[in-house]
């Protein structure tokens, strides 16, 4: 991922994570601040951050997906590496790009040493859940949430 691609990706990632937090009841301004702070903490040197891999997948000269992978630890004890983001724009889905990104993540892990790759997927993302299942990933935990207004 180039520095220019990173700048664009960072804006999109903060917005996306802010939306996830807002869906969980975090006020929008606080959600943006939390998302930005967490990204700054995880990627203090942007794409040059040690132990992090940021890739842009291109097909026929166009960006069709992106990967953010940590091969130097994971936020969960059952994994040695973590796929923080596997992204394929809506218009590019269903063409095998997600599979390509996950196989790339696995190759990066094999090269760097981790033997257990983890990721989190939203329960309403059935296509991604099916993809991960076909690649041999299994669900190890479900977290429930309820707004108490």
Question: What pLDDT shows up at residue 23?
Answer: 87
Give the mean pLDDT per block of 10 residues along the chain (149 residues).
89 92 91 95 94 94 94 91 94 94 97 95 90 94 78
Rounded Cα distance between 84 and 121, Å, is 10
Nearest to 54, CA basis, from 129, 3, 97: 3
Q: What is the dihedral of CA 39, 41, 46, 52, to 10 degrees?
A: -90
Question: What pLDDT shows up at residue 92?
Answer: 92
The CA-CA-CA angle for residues 51, 57, 63, to 5°, reads 130
Question: What pLDDT shows up at residue 2?
Answer: 85
Question: What pLDDT shows up at residue 141?
Answer: 84
Question: What pLDDT shows up at residue 145?
Answer: 74
Given a contact cutoff of 8 angstroms between Cβ atoms, the answer to whether 81 and 117 are in contact is yes
Question: What pLDDT shows up at residue 147?
Answer: 72
Question: What pLDDT shows up at residue 118?
Answer: 95
Rounded Cα distance between 139 and 135, Å, is 12
């Amino acid at each position: 991922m180039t520095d220019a691609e990173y700048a664009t990706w960072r804006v999109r990632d903060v917005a996306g994570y802010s939306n996830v937090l807002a869906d969980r009841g975090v006020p929008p301004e606080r959600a943006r601040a939390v998302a930005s702070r967490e990204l700054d903490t995880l990627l203090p040197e942007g794409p040059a951050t040690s132990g992090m891999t940021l890739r842009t997948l291109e097909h026929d000269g166009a960006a069709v997906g992106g990967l953010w992978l940590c091969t130097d630890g994971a936020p969960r004890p059952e994994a040695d590496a973590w796929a923080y983001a596997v992204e394929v724009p809506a218009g590019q889905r269903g063409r095998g790009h997600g599979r390509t990104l996950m196989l790339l993540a696995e190759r990066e892990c094999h090269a760097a040493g981790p033997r257990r790759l983890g990721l989190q997927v939203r329960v309403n993302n059935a296509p991604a859940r099916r993809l991960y299942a076909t690649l041999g990933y299994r669900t190890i935990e479900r977290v429930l949430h309820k707004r108490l207004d």
